[in-house]
């Protein structure tokens, strides 16, 4: 099991600190990767969709950026609702199950 901790814009993976572009809201290991949810407010006022759910390899290299359930510029993931299976809630009122190996949406349900 990979040990993971975070503070501010930094994730520590197996004792190695990795500086990231945005503040980290949550980070944890799943299946050999580290899933990182960036603070959904970190990109306010900027153009385009804030792709704020990513996975890193143990080296800190980007493994994937998660898909979104919509193409709305305002959509963002704001909460991880389950780690196994990996499920996240989006601002557009979808709960999405994400494939931890690829970042692709396996299923989504509208909850509003």
Domain range summary for the chain, segments of one domain joined by +: 4-110
Q: What is the pLDDT of residues 34-74, one digit of tens each?
A: 999 999 999 988 888 999 999 999 999 999 999 999 999 99
* Residue 24 reports pLDDT greater than 80: yes
CATH topology of domain 4-110: Thrombin, subunit H (2.40.10)
Each as own residue / partner, the long-range contacts of residues 58-67 (CB below 8 Å, 24 or more positions apart, any chain) are 58/2, 58/13, 58/14, 58/32, 58/34, 60/11, 60/13, 60/16, 60/18, 63/33, 63/103, 64/102, 64/103, 65/103, 66/98, 66/103, 66/104, 66/105, 67/96, 67/98, 67/103, 67/104, 67/105
* Residue 32 reports pLDDT greater than 80: yes
């Amino acid at each position: 099991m990979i040990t993971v901790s975070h503070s501010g814009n930094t994730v520590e993976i197996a004792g190695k600190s990795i500086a990231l572009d945005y503040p980290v809201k949550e980070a944890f290991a799943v299946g050999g990767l580290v899933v990182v949810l960036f603070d959904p407010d970190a990109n306010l006022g900027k153009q385009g969709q804030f792709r704020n759910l990513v996975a890193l390899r143990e080296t800190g290299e980007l493994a994937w950026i998660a898909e979104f359930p919509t193409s709305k510029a305002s959509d963002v993931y704001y909460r991880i609702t389950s780690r196994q299976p990996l499920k996240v809630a989006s601002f557009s009122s979808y709960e999405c199950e994400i494939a931890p190996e690829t970042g692709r949406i396996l299923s989504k349900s509208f909850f509003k």
